[in-house]
Amino acid sequence: MIKYKLLCKNCELKFDSWFASSNEYERLKKRNLLTCHKCNSVDVKKTIMAPQLINSKSKTDDKINLEKYNKVKKTIIGYQKFIKENFKYVGDNFAYEARSIHYNNSKKKSKGIYGKASSNDLKELKEEGIDAQLIPWIGEDKN
């Protein structure tokens, strides 16, 4: 079974009608057996099934979200720039480096560090009295 939206060109009534197949629709149409439910006109045609329209409201929301995201992204990138210029990148060794700075006084005057740490690492560091901040980080473009 296939459902078509039909439109009467005479009275502009739109109505749904079921057919066994698209061939059946063509056959009925050729024999003028398709008639308008309201005015009985045979001038009835199949309308194109419109794809579901994108809700214009959600489209606007997406745009706002994108603008918000870009704003936040800009701020984060600003932080990242500052951190890169003022801190030493230690990658995955963050927890280790943070500890060595904390426990080794000679390193106290060295640059701050930044790197990757798990939330577990951060929790442990905090318990040891080591101050580490978690900041959102946007991955750099590969290009």
**What residues make contact with Zn ion under the rule CB under 5 A?**
8, 10-11, 13, 36, 38-39, 41
Number of H helices, E strands in the chain: 4, 5
Nearer to Zn ion, 39 or 66 (CB): 39
Q: Shortest approach of Zn ion to residue 10 CB, angstroms?
A: 4
Nearer to Zn ion, 43 or 124 (CB): 43
Q: Shortest approach of Zn ion to residue 18 CB, angstroms?
A: 18
Q: Shortest approach of Zn ion to residue 69 CB, angstroms?
A: 50
